[in-house]
Structure 1
Amino acid sequence: MNDHTPQAPPPPDLWATVDTLWEWLDSHRPIEGREGVLLRVLKLSEEVGEVAEAVIGATGQNPRKGVTHTWDDVQAELCDVVITALVALRTLTPEAREVLARHLERVTRRSAELPARADVPRPSH
């Protein structure tokens, strides 16, 4: 039997990819030192703004422009935020993986201690 169903590529190793992106960015950094680090962190604000733009575009909230984006665009912009944040964290410390793991553990533990709220609506798709 000849199955021509395309196979999905294996998922990339997240931290290896973050390291690769960080190395490439570091070798192409136009501004060095503290200012370069600060600009890398500020890049996160730009990416968050692009999420907002995509949400406004997906919902058609700008009557002059109408619907200009899709929810797939919103998802892609959110991914850019995550990638940018991870690269910024890696810029601040080579132990970014461990820092994130410890922080995620604290947030998970903290949220597990909170009682469930029945009055909070859950998003639906």
Structure 2
Amino acid sequence: MSDDDLWESIGQLQDWLARAQPARPPQETLLLRMLKLSEEVGEVAEAVIGATGQNPRKGTSHTWDDVRSELCDVIITAAVALRTLSPDAREVFAAHLTRVTDRSLGPDSP
């Protein structure tokens, strides 16, 4: 999937959410998108605990494929939240990724 396809899909998901959910003031919609991100991160934690069998009551209840899937949900949810906040999400993300990469992998990186 190309970068264009990815952000096109994110836009389609955002549009679908706007149609499928009750109308709310824009600020409330944005806040709920941010809360959804916390929910998805919690699902990653649940999947890791399940994949490692750390809950004695449930045992091994998830697989590492479940963890991968939940991590993808976090990325998608974050991208939808970013696009809800910024219609130019693609450019915002690309610029931020460049800054983080330069800072982390610059001439002084280990």
When normalised by structure 1's length, the TM-score is 0.81
Specify the alignment match of 2:19 in structure 1: 27
Q: Identity over the aligned pairs, expressed in percent?
A: 65
**How far off its partner does 1:28 sit?**
2.0
Q: 1:44-71 CA distances to partner (integer Å, 9 max, x unpaired)?
A: 0000000000000000001111000000
Which one-letter code corresponds to 2:13 in the other structure?
L
Residue segments in structure 1 that go unaligned for 5+ positions in a row = 1-10, 117-125
CA RMSD of aligned residues (A): 1.2
Of the three residues 80, 88, 98, the one matched with 1:87 is: 80
Residue segments in structure 2 that go unaligned for 5+ positions in a row = none
Q: Distance in 1 between matches of 2:86 and 2:71?
A: 23
Specify the alignment match of 1:51 in structure 2: 44
- Name the count of aligned residue pairs: 106
User: If each structure's helix is expressed as a fraction of its own residues, which one has the higher value?
Assistant: 2
The structure whose Rg is larger is 1
**How far off its partner does 1:26 sit?**
1.2
Q: Please identify runs of 4+ aligned residues in structure 1 that moved more than 4 A.
A: none
When normalised by structure 2's length, the TM-score is 0.91
